[in-house]
Amino acid sequence: MLCTQATEDAGMRRPWGSGMKPADKQAYLEEYELLKKKGKPFFPYAVLKDSAMMLAVVGVIILMSVILGAEQGPKADPTTTTYVPRPEWYFFFLFELLRVIKPPELVPIATIGIPTICMVLLLLLPFYDRGPERNPIRRPIATTAGILTIIAMAYLTFLGATGGSPTEIEMEVAPQYEAGKEVVAGAGCLACHKIGENGNNGPGPELTHIAARIPRAAIVRSVEIGPGIMPSFRDLPPKKLNELADFLSSLD
Amino acid sequence: MSDESDKQNGAEASGRPERPAPEPPGYFEGESMTRRKAFTVAVQGIGGLAGAAIVLPAVGFAVAPIFHRGKERWEAVGPVNDFVEDTYRQVVFTETEGIGDAGKTTAYIRRSSEQLEEEPGKFVAVSNRCAHLGCPVRFVEAAGNFICPCHGGVYDFQGKRIGGPPVRPLDQFQTRVRAGQVEVGPRYSVTSQLEPVRARDPGEFTGGVWEYLYPPRPSTFPPP
Amino acid sequence: MKLDSLIPAPLRKPAKPGTGNGSKGPAPADLKTSPPERPSDAQRLGDRAKDAPADVLAWVDQRTAATGFLTGMLYRKVPKGTNWFYTLGSATLIAFIAQALTGVFLAMFYTPSTTQAYASIAHINNDVFLGQLVHGMHKWGSSVMVILIFLHMGRTFFFGAYKYPRELNWVIGVVLLILTMTMAFTGYLLPFDQRSFWASVVSININGTGPVVGPYLSDFLRAGPELGATTLSRFYAIHMLLVPGAIIAMIGAHMYLVVKLGTTAPPWLKAEKPKVAAPVSQLDAGVEGNGAAPQ
């Protein structure tokens, strides 16, 4: 405080703008002193609340350990061809970001660009939000930005958690379509099509309700010809092609 | 010396005329080095040396693996007749020695195909490491594609990217034939036209200006 | 005898000693006629024991000059309106301490070698007394700590507690957030099961996508172009020594600033300014009686 006082007195302008005026700062400090005078000593009043919360936190950790346990998964195996890697839940929002940003040119933006920009914005927050107002209701920009960020992260985390692997279909189907469901899951369709919760939403159209849009014959034709960049599946054994067509035509 | 500078600043601030600082005893005209200055420089120099002597070897220790290249390793993965042109066969071999199962990796091997304008008589060994972020891809025979379960990357029969976020085709391993056995060697990456370059990490573009933005590392082997 | 009261007091016959009614009135009640009561040995010991804490404190204080600092810290006033939201900071701290303690005990059984890490964790889970509990506490404690640190950051953000004069505290807090995420990243590889392995492979490759320095950064993290023998020990050293040291230093700085600058009051509270009469000159200018500056 003394330093800024000296620079203000010397008439030097700080290059990054004015922020809180010295009068605002003084007013805040005086008000803070008054609020402190009316307050209570840290020990034992605030310490009591802190201790209760600490006990609750430790209790929750022990409870989670007892109930959820610490089972190991299978041993690390780099040669696997069946494992579906997933990060820990608090990284799901980044994971989902990497899944939805499809064009390869944008990949470094998703991996490095966006997280770095967000970190820098977070770090420098007190230097670009310098108004004296602290009540969240009277800081509409800050409060809205904060709430939107929370909602975005929560939504991305939810999507990351529920998104299934593009090699399985997690859908309830009637028993006669189970075989076809396996064929579709194993043939790699989910790499380009979304079916239910699984698969990718591109470059192919979503197939969750494909049967309501086109008849079975058209489905069979697409599968056999492989229009555009879609590969052709005519080399599948006829039985598997049939089961595949049965399953897809049941999706309405 | 702080006395002199204090006096000078004080003199300027209060508006009195500057007075030259009193000379220390023994001062002669033109003397520039004082005992205090000499000691200050000596402290900074010796302290800097001591600090560097501790920090530099430690940092070098931590950074050295970037410049270390292991021995070139070739491993036999099967007789020549095991592999065909129109589909891949999956093999497991040790890429990194000395760490047990964690050093193994999966490769998909086939003969080179004249239809795809590849050099005849060679073997193509494709890595199962996705070029997006390194997840294990799998070859789906029905579609003749490689699919990555993490973020949905799709590669065609040659390993070129046809869908999803991967930034370049799948890496390959050098191959050779010795005593009727196909051997796989060091890893290398390819450009989008399947031209070999030095091995890159997943997520790094190859070819053209990208060779400079994602420079090759001294820890990798030259491409074939 | 009743006639005695007619005779003036000085002429009366003096009373027998000990019977009262003398010229000075009856003997005072507290006249000690028996030997004084000395405290018993037990009582003396009890009195000295009551002084013991003060003696110990005095001993420590003369050698450390600590009680001034401690009383200043413990009995400082927190502003009016401090509520339960303010406990999130110490909740994060206790989560970190829990992680540190359970981590120390896990480190006594864990082997950071690619061939033995998985087996050592299996040993902890199955054979060590309370091993699964401590392992579980460390594993779920990391999720709890991440949740708490985000809640604490949100509380600080919405209460505007990062503004003057607490900007530096916010910066230190964000650095702590980054260090916590680094702990989560490096610690995740250590169990060396499938999930750990692939999540770490992907995270290292994410670092590699940064232009120019990315490839070298990945090589530095992995100690080579592939995940090798020293990758796990590198992650272990970072997770056990480098980052916890940095976190402890940053927590020290963070808490020093919290004690020195104080915690903010909830932002919807306004202080009641003390009512003072305004100086006469300001009354002319139409100023309010509480001394506020003219609008």
Residue B143 is part of a domain; what is its CATH number? 2.102.10.10
Is B221 part of a structural domain of the chain? no
Q: Which residues of chain B have pLDDT under 70?
A: 1-15, 24, 26
* CATH class for the region spanning A175-249: mainly alpha
**A190-215 pLDDT, tens digit each:** 777 888 877 777 667 888 888 888 88
Q: List CB contacts (< 8 A) between C94 and chain A.
A: 54, 57-58
Question: Band of the pLDDT at C295, cuts 50, 70, 90?
Answer: very low
Which C positions 110-139 lie with beta carbon below 8 A of chain B? 114-115
Secondary structure of chain B: what % helix, strand, coil (to 5)?
25, 25, 50
C-alpha A223/C-alpha A234 separation (Å) is: 7
Query: Do residues B136 and B190 share a domain?
Result: yes
pLDDT at position B30: 73
Q: Which of B99-103, C25-29, C103-107, C194-198 has the highest mean pLDDT?
A: C103-107
The helix/strand/coil state of B57 is helix
The residues in B 16-55 lying below 8 A from C, measured between CB atoms, are: none
Confidence of residue C292 (pLDDT cuts 50, 70, 90): very low
**Do B59 and B96 have their domain in common?**
no
pTM for the whole structure: 0.79
Whether C142 contacts A73, CB under 8 Å:
no
pLDDT of residue C289: 47
Average pLDDT over residues A126-146: 89
Do B46 and B100 belong to one domain? no
Looking at B41, B66, B91, the residue that finishes a domain is B66
Q: At residue C195, does pLDDT exceed 80?
A: yes
- Dist CA C88 CA C94 (whole Å): 10
Interface contact B149-A202, CB threshold 8 A: no
- Can you read off the two tokens belonging to residue C129? 């007394």
Q: Which alpha helices (DSSP H) does C79-166 contain, by range?
A: 88-107, 117-126, 131-158
Q: How confident is the model at residue A12 (pLDDT cuts 50, 70, 90)?
A: low
> Chain B, 47-76: which have a CB under 8 Å from a chain A CB?
none
Average pLDDT, chain A: 82
Interface mutation target, options B93, B109, B150, B206, chain A, most CBs of A under 10 Å: B150
- Count how many pairs of residues, chain A against chain B, have C-beta atoms within 8 Å: 114
B200 contacts C215? CB cut-off 8 A: yes
- CA A193 to each of CA A28, A187, A189: distance values in angstroms, whole numbers, following the listed order: 58, 12, 6
**Are residues B90 and B60 located together in one domain of the fold?**
no
Same domain, B121 and B58: no
Q: In this complex, is the C-beta atom of B149 within 8 Å of any C-beta atom belonging to chain C?
A: no
Which residues of chain A neighbour C116 with C-beta distances below 8 Å?
A: none
Which whole number is the average pLDDT over C238-263? Answer: 95
Question: Residue B154: how many CA atoms within 13 Å on its side-chain side?
Answer: 27
Question: Is the pLDDT assigned to residue A7 strictly greater than 60?
Answer: no
Lowest mean pLDDT among B93-107, C83-97, C237-251: B93-107
How many other CB atoms are found less than 10 A from the CB of residue B126? 24
Q: Which residue of C has its CA nearest to B166?
A: C209
Statement to judge: residues B54 and B18 lie in one domain:
yes
B99 shares a domain with B56: no
pLDDT at A62: 96
CA–CA gap between residue C214 and residue C205 (Å, rounded): 9
Mutate to test the interface with B, among A9, A79, A83, A84 (most CBs of B within 10 A): A79
Counted domains in chain B: 2
Flag whether B222 is in a domain. no
DSSP A219: H
C-alpha B74/C-alpha B86 separation (Å) is 25
Mean pLDDT of C266-290: 64
Share of chain C above pLDDT 70, in %: 87
Is the same domain home to B109 and B128?
yes
CA distance A241 to A248: 11
Banded pLDDT at A1 (limits 50, 70, 90): very low
Model pLDDT, residue A108: 84
Burial class of B112 by CB neighbour count within 10 A (0 to 12, 13 to 18, 19+): middle
| Structural domain span for residue B195 | 75-213
User: Has residue B151 been placed in a domain?
Assistant: yes
Please list, in sequence order, all residues whose beta carbon lies within 8 angstroms of the beta carbon of residue B209, skipping any fewer than 6 positions away: none
Residue of A77, A82, A107 best to disrupt the B interface, most CBs of B under 10 A = A107
Is residue B121 in some structural domain?
A: yes
Q: In this structure, are B41 and B98 located in the same domain?
A: no
**Nearest in space to C157 (alpha carbons), one of C167, C144, C145, C147:** C167
For residues A63-87, average pLDDT: 88
Q: What is the mean pLDDT of residues A113-137?
A: 90
Whole-number Å distance between alpha carbons of A1 and A163: 52
Cis peptide before A115 (omega within 30 of 0): no
Q: Are residues B127 and B187 in the same domain?
A: yes
pLDDT tens, residue by residue, B10-66: 445 566 777 777 776 767 777 777 788 889 999 999 999 999 999 999 999 888 888
d(CA A149, CA B192): 37
| pLDDT score of B19 | 75
pLDDT at residue A64 greater than cutoff 80 = yes
Q: Chain B: nearest CA to A183, how far in angstroms?
A: 9
Taking the Cβ of residue B110 and every Cβ of chain C, the question of whether any pair is shorter than 8 Å is answered with: no
Beta carbons of C133 and A66 less than 8 Å apart:
yes
Strands (E), chain A: 40-41, 194-195, 198-199
* Residue C170 sits at the chain A interface (C-beta within 8 Å): yes
pLDDT above 90: residue C33: no
- Band (pLDDT 50/70/90 cuts) for residue C19 is low
Nearest-angstrom CA–CA distance, C69 and C257 = 14
Do B13 and B123 lie in a common domain?
no
C168 to chain B, closest Cα gap in Å? 28
- pLDDT(A5) > 60: no
Domains (ranges, CATH) in chain C? 82-261 (1.20.810.10)
Q: Which of C156, C43, B196 is nearest to A126 (CA)?
A: C156
In angstroms, how far apart are the furthest CA atoms of chain C? 127
Contact call for A49 and C210, based on CB within 8 A: no
ipTM over 0.85: no
Distance CA A121, CA A100 (A): 23
Is B220 a member of any domain? no
pLDDT at C8: 78
pLDDT given for residue A2 in this prediction: 46
Looking at beta carbons, which residues of chain A come within 8 Å of C166? 126
B75: β partners: B184
pLDDT score for C13: 76
Of C5 and B124, more confident: B124
Confirm or reject contact between C224 and chain B (CB < 8 A): yes
User: Coil, helix or strand for A36?
Assistant: helix
Question: Is A139 part of the contact surface with chain B (CB cutoff 8 Å)?
Answer: no
Give per-residue pLDDT as tens, C147-164: 999 999 999 999 999 998
